[in-house]
Homo-oligomer: A and B are copies of this chain.
Amino acid sequence: RRARPVREVLFFPSRPCCIEALLAEAAEPGAPARPCPCPLPSGDTALSRLVRRLLSARRSLDLCLFAFSCPQLARAVQLLHRRGVRVRLVTDAQYMGLHGSQVGRLRHAGIQVRHDQHSGYMHHKFAIVDRRMLITGSLNWTSQAIQSNRENVLVVEDAEYVKAFQDEFERIWEEYNPTSYTFFPQRQ
């Protein structure tokens, strides 16, 4: 039987929390839990809920993120990639090279990354899990935003909204295809 569609709103800042148990369970389901030595609680927080939603991916994860520097979220994405989930990441050219960005690390791990060539920002902050669940809001995927800012994230399992964002993702993915790079500054 089909479960009820997910409808969730997450507000940040999130209390600090340890997500090791979540990552371990996703890496090796059913394995005996090993307690993490870190002092953080492993409670139910906005961050842990976001990580849980991401780790539910089975086939694909499409990421369209202005800034991605949070190491915890990068570990979750890498784990999905290792598990065989098809991960694609679109990001902003000006921000991907900044100190602390996780984009290089993800690319190095074999994840496909594309970026804009424009002076305007690729300012989206959304993810689509299995072409079925949309995760979108004001939150850039940075530790500062997660821990310090007032932010929102909507989790929506609704075919109409998901399709609009999936189509936008595919448009951007094609537009930022490296075979179309000009290697010249554009006038915009």
For the complex, what is the distance from the CA of A188 to the CA of B147, rounded to whole Å?
A: 11
| Those of A99-143 within 8 Å (CB) of chain B | 116, 118-126, 136-139
Instruction: List chain B residues, Cβ under 8 A from A164.
Output: 9, 11
Which chain B residues lie closer than 8 Å to A152 at the CB level? 124, 126, 136, 165, 168
Minimum Cβ distance to chain B for residue A135 (Å): 12
Check A165 against B9 for contact (C-beta < 8 Å): yes
Is A150 touching B7 in the complex (CB atoms < 8 A)? no
Pairwise interchain contact A168-B123, C-beta atoms closer than 8 A: no
Proximity string of chain A (23-63) to chain B, C-beta cutoff 8 Å, 1 when within and 0 when not: 00000000000000000000000000000000000000000
Contact of A120 among B136, B150, B160 (CB under 8 A): B150
- Which residues in A have some Cβ–Cβ distance to B below 8 Å? 7, 9, 11, 13, 66, 116, 118-126, 136-139, 144-145, 147-152, 154, 160-161, 164-165, 168, 172, 188
Subset of 25 A-B contacts with CB under 8 Å: A7-B160, A7-B161, A9-B161, A9-B165, A13-B120, A66-B138, A116-B150, A119-B148, A120-B144, A120-B148, A120-B150, A121-B148, A121-B150, A122-B149, A123-B145, A123-B149, A123-B150, A124-B150, A124-B152, A136-B138, A137-B137, A138-B138, A148-B188, A152-B165, A154-B161
